[in-house]
Amino acid sequence: MREVGVWFVGARGSVATTATLGAAAVKAGAAPPQGCVTESPDFPVGLVSIADLVFGGHDITECPLRKRAEQLSRAGVVPAGLPGLLAQDLDAADAEIRRGHVPGDGTQEAAAARLAGDIAGFRDRHGLARVVVVNVSSTEPPAAPRPEFRRLADLEARLAAGDDVLPASSLYAYAAFRAGCGYVEFTPSTGPALPALAELAELRAVPYAGRDGKTGETLIKSALAPMFAQRSLRVRSWSGLNLLGGGDGATLADPAARSSKTLSKERAVAGILGEPVEGETHIDYVEDLGEWKTAWDHVTFEGFLRVRMSLQFTWQGCDSALAAPLVLDLARLVARAHERGRYGVLADLAFFFKDPLGTDEHALAAQYARLRAFAADLAGDPS
Amino acid sequence: MREVGVWFVGARGSVATTATLGAAAVKAGAAPPQGCVTESPDFPVGLVSIADLVFGGHDITECPLRKRAEQLSRAGVVPAGLPGLLAQDLDAADAEIRRGHVPGDGTQEAAAARLAGDIAGFRDRHGLARVVVVNVSSTEPPAAPRPEFRRLADLEARLAAGDDVLPASSLYAYAAFRAGCGYVEFTPSTGPALPALAELAELRAVPYAGRDGKTGETLIKSALAPMFAQRSLRVRSWSGLNLLGGGDGATLADPAARSSKTLSKERAVAGILGEPVEGETHIDYVEDLGEWKTAWDHVTFEGFLRVRMSLQFTWQGCDSALAAPLVLDLARLVARAHERGRYGVLADLAFFFKDPLGTDEHALAAQYARLRAFAADLAGDPS
Amino acid sequence: MREVGVWFVGARGSVATTATLGAAAVKAGAAPPQGCVTESPDFPVGLVSIADLVFGGHDITECPLRKRAEQLSRAGVVPAGLPGLLAQDLDAADAEIRRGHVPGDGTQEAAAARLAGDIAGFRDRHGLARVVVVNVSSTEPPAAPRPEFRRLADLEARLAAGDDVLPASSLYAYAAFRAGCGYVEFTPSTGPALPALAELAELRAVPYAGRDGKTGETLIKSALAPMFAQRSLRVRSWSGLNLLGGGDGATLADPAARSSKTLSKERAVAGILGEPVEGETHIDYVEDLGEWKTAWDHVTFEGFLRVRMSLQFTWQGCDSALAAPLVLDLARLVARAHERGRYGVLADLAFFFKDPLGTDEHALAAQYARLRAFAADLAGDPS
Amino acid sequence: MREVGVWFVGARGSVATTATLGAAAVKAGAAPPQGCVTESPDFPVGLVSIADLVFGGHDITECPLRKRAEQLSRAGVVPAGLPGLLAQDLDAADAEIRRGHVPGDGTQEAAAARLAGDIAGFRDRHGLARVVVVNVSSTEPPAAPRPEFRRLADLEARLAAGDDVLPASSLYAYAAFRAGCGYVEFTPSTGPALPALAELAELRAVPYAGRDGKTGETLIKSALAPMFAQRSLRVRSWSGLNLLGGGDGATLADPAARSSKTLSKERAVAGILGEPVEGETHIDYVEDLGEWKTAWDHVTFEGFLRVRMSLQFTWQGCDSALAAPLVLDLARLVARAHERGRYGVLADLAFFFKDPLGTDEHALAAQYARLRAFAADLAGDPS
Ligand SMILES: NC(=O)c1ccc[n+]([C@@H]2O[C@H](COP(=O)([O-])OP(=O)(O)OC[C@H]3O[C@@H](n4cnc5c(N)ncnc54)[C@H](O)[C@@H]3O)[C@@H](O)[C@H]2O)c1
Ligand SMILES: NC(=O)c1ccc[n+]([C@@H]2O[C@H](COP(=O)([O-])OP(=O)(O)OC[C@H]3O[C@@H](n4cnc5c(N)ncnc54)[C@H](O)[C@@H]3O)[C@@H](O)[C@H]2O)c1
Ligand SMILES: NC(=O)c1ccc[n+]([C@@H]2O[C@H](COP(=O)([O-])OP(=O)(O)OC[C@H]3O[C@@H](n4cnc5c(N)ncnc54)[C@H](O)[C@@H]3O)[C@@H](O)[C@H]2O)c1
Ligand SMILES: NC(=O)c1ccc[n+]([C@@H]2O[C@H](COP(=O)([O-])OP(=O)(O)OC[C@H]3O[C@@H](n4cnc5c(N)ncnc54)[C@H](O)[C@@H]3O)[C@@H](O)[C@H]2O)c1
Ligand code: NA
Ligand code: NA
């Protein structure tokens, strides 16, 4: 497979910066591709190599990638020295970052055209086979449903009339599809999860996947909840507290944005156990934690003769270090799917997401089996 | 399927008493079969119903089952009131408990004949289709290898010569096989895991499974370790401390017995991750914990760009309440396998064990898939 | 010291029932006075003996104490068998429970007279030296300040005018003071913490203490926070999640009532460290936990050369079992103080409270030292 | 107070290097004296300022301090950049490090003379008012008692006869006393804790303190155990697992050395609670943890009516960052005590130690009160 473009919405954020720097480090042989699922021997060859990914994107902040990388290095996300070593790669990606869209800056109709143009220009300049747009920008509040979200014609009529009806993430998905690109919704925002946009993806024959990268507490939940089910142990409550700093934490300090995330987080357990379970999931912004997250979960369950037992876990992770390799995996898989002519929602990528689009499968092992089958299938397809 | 006998070695222990009482409770409709894997809708019908299990066994203590059940009730393992309510069932099982073998009480050759006779008598008295012998007696120290363990002829020659060469658990397995019964090794002891005994199982066409019921810390390990592997996160250390009271705890306070258990516990993680991992697993007898166990595990792992992260969990479980339903599952599955003509080691039952005989598969989800396939297969067999 | 009355507001609640039953158990020699601070050898003699406490109170539920005690026994708060054994004592206390006040049931002025009369009647019937009123009723939302709370004359003028201006807890404190009784505010509610009521306590020369019994997470905080201060380790964040069921949990499921509790909980750490600390304290109602509480706290701190470290703890307690002996301690201490002629706020009892009235001392060891000095002083007073 | 010398036994180890570097950082204004107890406003002035400490010591490794400091920086113990910034101070201390004593390298008699000479030479070269020797070298196995440890005359007779009877730590203490220096035993080794050496300290009128710096799990224990006692909650078991890497971890991987540490660790709880408590404390070397330590403790306790509850904590600390400022505190306090004419064991410094010499007081708050009184006393002495 030839070179593939990765276009980040939120290109100067922690996840995007870590992914950009990390790809450069792997290319330079300065780090193993640890944390990259598709680099495991369980996966067939045939995906674009990490060294052949080219980066660009949209953001609304001006802070140069080099500086962001230095900040991440001080925060312990990336090794000291690496940003300096790979400054050239960071600068190259930086030169491909364009201004994102902010409400008020022209109509969404005009913005969509401009954003799509930015992406197409990137593809052309680099002679890329294809580009995958990956949304790693700040989480939005949940979007209220609107009638025009149902059909593409209605949506485009509203946009043509100069009405700004789309949440930002969906505007980017719209632009990506118009530019003929695959799309990954790595945040809990709406993105492509509107019937009108699904229609557009079909029309343009582009694949997409989402929603909300599964990197921490929910990852563990999706590994542990099936155990209770398989052992016929009845889960009685599942409560959790997530403490995190960083830009993502600051965004989630806003209750509206946070509700997107908690909704997304709470789906997994009930989905796996097949019944609603008592308990809440809290998210607290704790500035002092920097780019790190600590999550505590407490589970009560009932066994034989109704005896009550409990399980607790504490997860201490670096979110961007967990997310970045998955973002590379997703770009590679979606690019390959696109190449193989797949389009519409890629439910087989559920393994990567807290709130998988196109399926209700939340159990990690089942998702992994499905992902492997998908990858094998892509590898086997005649091109 | 007609009535099936369950013959416990260690019939007055916590696990056996809880299983006997629990089966009576399920039969009486006093409790749901929670914790019984084979009662889940994932499993086909065709197994003997819990109500059709008949109990007996060997033990070396005289304490009546009623009294043991009362003790377990005070310890919070079984609901208050239940032992009284089901006293008749406990007494019936009690009447079928025979004196176990203690070293010095005659030769092993003689003991084997007597033990096999006890089991056969039980089968005959109750007109049972078949009996499954389940070892839930105290854990033994690991047995040193001996040349005569390799071939049945050599083993029987030594026994005939009056030499007591078998560890107790293997003596019971030998007696079970001679009585034409399936056997489950629920403890970490040697049991049927000798080539000579495998030979005998083939000869008598009886099935067996083991080893060491997977009920707590190792269960969680086998659910979590695959997650690290699937996400290409490199586990760097895995340490654990198990605190437990009860009879099992008291036995494991002896370093020799404990080493059987820790060996068994440490196999899972390395088996799943495919490489040895730094870290120890401790087992402490804490009398004050009674029949309850608390285990803490600490895992360090490495992600993208070698960033270090960690996971801890605390498991607070009631071991006998976790083990008892599995013991019923195993008896039902082995009886069915026996009925269907399966014999030798049943590697497909790995799901239930810390140290599965006949396979190296330790990952819980993979074990579960295999178990379901096995059960479906048994259901489908023409009888 | 002669017999002393303990009058519970919320006499049928978990704390009151446990205290009533527990005092009877200690009297009967059925349990040691474990958890009673004033029974330790650190305390001088001279307090009324637990066997000489007589119980009564107000409540708005009709559920008999026997039945509440049975429920607590099933929930593991009190030993099985004890409620039956001590049924007579429970019935005696039950016979002394009067209907509490509910808004709308007459003016507060009339209610205060009636409530005070109930208490005085109890004292007279039993010929008690004195009665201590202890509020262990459901937590109220924080009360908005009002001008008439400042001076007794203004408050009584409003009440005389038929205006219901007091929160329920303050109405009970008002009634207690009018009846010439000492008062303990064991909940986070307002109770006696109004200048007008302080004035009344002076006038009637009665002592009082509060607020919000310190039994779990905050107890640990007040033991651990001083350690950070003494070691010059700078605490950077302190976050917590409290999971609890029971009647108290159900009350706190209401955000307004919960805010009384979280305010009270958050004072301790900042009070001890002398500066505000980042982090929130959550309280979740988890019905499944019954009368038990699990709290997890996460602390980050900075040491030499600004290195970041952390501490977590998980507390698993039975709130009523922790609270009940303290309630007995408080009744005994306040009765003695009253006897010795002390009146007004007893700041020396801060050891027992999350939000101590009359002092800002939150450090546990300092509070303990002060409590011992107070008790010694009471013992030494010529009567 | 004029300049004071700090002579480290183990001068190139983690603790000594961090203390040396940290003192230089404080002097340069590059870091606040966080973690230094004696810098808190609770302490009177009068101690030598950190800027006036001069460093030297013994070690048996050649690795230069600069290099050790760089290693500690990579391990996250000290900030990146600091070793470079303060290279001059590190080099100055390095120039004052002399070869330690290794068994076989001459008699202990000769070694003591040489070691004492090294210390005296350092004092003279720098014109220091006094020098405090602080043992922060590798932990030794516990020393078997010997008759000659009882009286100085007997000990010196054995040494004069060319018999090497002292453990290394005691040899250093002997040399320090002979050189007229105060001594701090920061490790669990024997050091000055022999009657013969106490005699020598009296004779030379030098003060000493010890044993085993209290920086992590035991620190928390000594803050929490008094809470149980004060609340009359009966502790039933206390178990712990310490995971640590680094040089100290590697030393403690040896069971003999480890037993010194666990003995020292287990004294605190029983000492505070006044009765032995069930449960063990494990120490595991986990290389992967580098200079960091994770400790988990599990406590069960009994409250009112014998209800069982539990507390767990997880401590994640950087041992050297915790120890280094205490080492500076101790040097300052011992120097001042020496100046003020105090000699023999300084039991008032128990606050700093797991196994305090000269007292059985283990409760942190009581130790702190005693330390403050001691410091006030030293300040008040006419000089
Ligand atoms: N890190 C993880 O483990 C993880 C997991 C799941 C989901 N996510 C999601 O990924 C997203 C990124 O996380 P992060 O930690 O990198 O956050 P971040 O705050 O560091 O980065 C977000 C970036 O988005 C940019 N941005 C905001 N609005 C924009 C707009 N309208 N157009 C273009 N750019 C815009 C911001 O300027 C910023 O650079 C978040 O939504 C987060 O919830 C992260
Ligand atoms: N409970 C669990 O979760 C679990 C999980 C895996 C394995 N196990 C194993 O199951 C076994 C039973 O556990 P338990 O908690 O019931 O222990 P237990 O101590 O309560 O019971 C053991 C019983 O075995 C009897 N026994 C001892 N030696 C015997 C002999 N030679 N012949 C016959 N009987 C003998 C004892 O008298 C006792 O009644 C242990 O080996 C344990 O390690 C238990
Ligand atoms: N248990 C602890 O550890 C602890 C610690 C600190 C404070 N507290 C406080 O103690 C109080 C009691 O806790 P609990 O667990 O017993 O709760 P609970 O819900 O079991 O009992 C509360 C009782 O108060 C009664 N009540 C409600 N309104 C009343 C009114 N107006 N007049 C008279 N009675 C009324 C209720 O009917 C109930 O019987 C709560 O406010 C709780 O926050 C408890
Ligand atoms: N760091 C803490 O929190 C803490 C707390 C209590 C006690 N301690 C004790 O402090 C000591 C030092 O800890 P560390 O982490 O710096 O260990 P380390 O292994 O990094 O340093 C020990 C140093 O002692 C040197 N040494 C060994 N034998 C010697 C000898 N005979 N003479 C002179 N030097 C010798 C070694 O070469 C090494 O440089 C250990 O005994 C440890 O148990 C540390
Ligand atoms: Na879905
Ligand atoms: Na106060």
A278-326 pLDDT per residue, tens: 999 999 999 999 999 999 999 999 999 999 999 999 999 999 999 999 9
Predicted confidence (pLDDT) at residue D359 exceeds the cutoff of 60: yes
Which residue of chain B comes nearest to D295, CA vs CA?
A: B298
Phi, psi of C141 (to 5 degrees): -65, 160
Cβ of B221: how many Cβ atoms within 10 Å?
A: 28
Q: Whose CA is nearest to atom 10 of ligand 1?
A: A136
Annotate A111-141 with three-state secondary structure: HHHHHHHHHHHHHHHCCCCEEEEEECCCCCC
Ligand 4 atom index nearest CA of D317: 3
- The whole-angstrom separation of Cα C275 and Cα C346 is 26
Shortest alpha-carbon distance between residue A278 and chain C (Å): 7
Q: What is the pLDDT of residue C261?
A: 77
| Count of all residues that appear for chain A in the document | 383
Q: What is the pLDDT of residue B260?
A: 78
Q: What is the pLDDT of residue D381?
A: 52
- The whole-angstrom separation of Cα C269 and Cα D363 is 20
- The whole-angstrom separation of Cα D266 and Cα D259 is 10
Q: What is the pLDDT of residue A380?
A: 78
pLDDT, mean of residues B346-351? 98
Shortest alpha-carbon distance between residue B296 and chain D (Å): 8
Asked if the peptide bond before residue A336 counts as cis, ω within 30 degrees of 0, the response is no
pLDDT, mean of residues D329-340? 97
Task: With cut-offs at 50, 70 and 90, classify the pLDDT of residue D382.
Answer: very low
A22-31, A32-41, A265-274, C232-241: range with lowest mean pLDDT = A265-274
Note the pLDDT tens digit of each residue in B267-285: 889 999 999 999 999 999 9
pLDDT, mean of residues D78-99? 96
**Is B36 an 8 Å CB contact of chain A?**
yes
Q: Which helix (H) or strand (E) holds D8?
A: strand D4-9
User: Which residue of B34, B36, B231 is the best one to mutate when testing the A interface, meaning the one whose CB has the most A CBs within 10 A?
Assistant: B231
Contacts of B314 in chain D (CB under 8 A): 312
**Residue scoring higher pLDDT (B48 or C267):** B48
A31: its two tokens: 């780090």
Q: What is the pLDDT of residue B301?
A: 97
Predicted confidence (pLDDT) at residue D1 exceeds the cutoff of 80: no
pLDDT, mean of residues D127-153? 96
Predicted confidence (pLDDT) at residue B383 exceeds the cutoff of 60: no
Predicted confidence (pLDDT) at residue A381 exceeds the cutoff of 60: no
Which stretches within chain B are classed as H helix? 14-27, 65-74, 82-85, 87-94, 108-126, 152-160, 168-178, 195-204, 217-230, 246-252, 255-273, 319-339, 364-380
Mark yes or no for CB contact A314/B312 under 8 Å.
yes
Predicted confidence (pLDDT) at residue C235 exceeds the cutoff of 60: yes
Chain mean pLDDT for chain D: 95
Q: What is the pLDDT of residue B262?
A: 78
Q: What is the pLDDT of residue A377?
A: 93
CA nearest to B14, candidates B57, B52, B65: B65
- Strand B97-99 and strand D53-59: the pairing is unpaired
- The whole-angstrom separation of Cα A287 and Cα A292 is 10
Mark yes or no for CB contact B239/D286 under 8 Å.
yes
Contacts of C217 in chain D (CB under 8 A): none
Contacts of B224 in chain A (CB under 8 A): 220, 223-224
Q: What is the pLDDT of residue D358?
A: 97
CA-CA distances (angstroms) from residue B85 to B79, B82, B240? 11, 5, 40
CB B350 within 8 A of CB B356: yes
**Is A314 an 8 Å CB contact of chain D?**
yes
Restricting to D residues 174-213, those with a Cβ less than 8 Å away from any Cβ of C are: none
**Residue scoring higher pLDDT (B93 or C42):** B93
* DSSP 8-state symbol, D278: B
Shortest alpha-carbon distance between residue B244 and chain C (Å): 18
Query: What residues contact residue D369 under an 8 Å CB cut-off, 6+ apart?
Result: none
Looking up tokens 């600004």 gives C306
Contacts of D282 in chain B (CB under 8 A): 241, 282
- The whole-angstrom separation of Cα B103 and Cα B99 is 13
Note the pLDDT tens digit of each residue in A86-124: 999 999 999 999 999 998 889 999 999 999 999 999 999
Restricting to A residues 338-357, those with a Cβ less than 8 Å away from any Cβ of B are: 351
C-alpha of residue A138 to centroid of ligand 1, in Å:
4
Q: What is the pLDDT of residue B267?
A: 81
Predicted confidence (pLDDT) at residue A85 exceeds the cutoff of 50: yes
B261-270, B345-354, C197-206, D171-180: range with lowest mean pLDDT = B261-270
CB B129 within 8 A of CB B190: no
pLDDT, mean of residues B120-127? 97
Chain mean pLDDT for chain B: 95
Q: What is the pLDDT of residue B1?
A: 60
Positive or negative, the Cα torsion across B69, B74, B78, B79? Answer: positive
- The whole-angstrom separation of Cα B56 and Cα B132 is 10
Ligand 3 atom index nearest CA of C252: 43
C-alpha of residue C211 to centroid of ligand 6, in Å:
8
Q: What is the pLDDT of residue D253?
A: 83
Q: Is C264 in the pocket of ligand 3 (CB under 6 A)?
A: no
Task: With cut-offs at 50, 70 and 90, classify the pLDDT of residue A249.
Answer: confident
Query: What residues contact residue D340 under an 8 Å CB cut-off, 6+ apart?
Result: D378, D381, D383
Asked if the peptide bond before residue A211 counts as cis, ω within 30 degrees of 0, the response is yes
Dihedral in degrees, nearest 10, Cα atoms C184, C185, C191, C194:
70
Q: At what angle do helices A364-380 and B364-380 cross, to 10 degrees?
A: 80
Which residue of chain B comes nearest to C312, CA vs CA?
A: B312
SS3 state of residue A102: coil
Q: Is A60 in the pocket of ligand 1 (CB under 6 A)?
A: yes
pLDDT, mean of residues A336-364? 97
C291: its two tokens: 């009368």
Predicted confidence (pLDDT) at residue A266 exceeds the cutoff of 80: no
- The whole-angstrom separation of Cα A356 and Cα A349 is 8
Q: What is the pLDDT of residue B258?
A: 83
Encode burial over C236-254: b for 16+ CB neighbours within 10 A, e otherwise: bbbbbbbbbbbbbbebbbe
Shortest alpha-carbon distance between residue B63 and chain D (Å): 27
Task: With cut-offs at 50, 70 and 90, classify the pLDDT of residue A1.
Answer: low
Q: Is A137 in the pocket of ligand 1 (CB under 6 A)?
A: yes
Which residue of chain D comes nearest to C24, CA vs CA?
A: D305
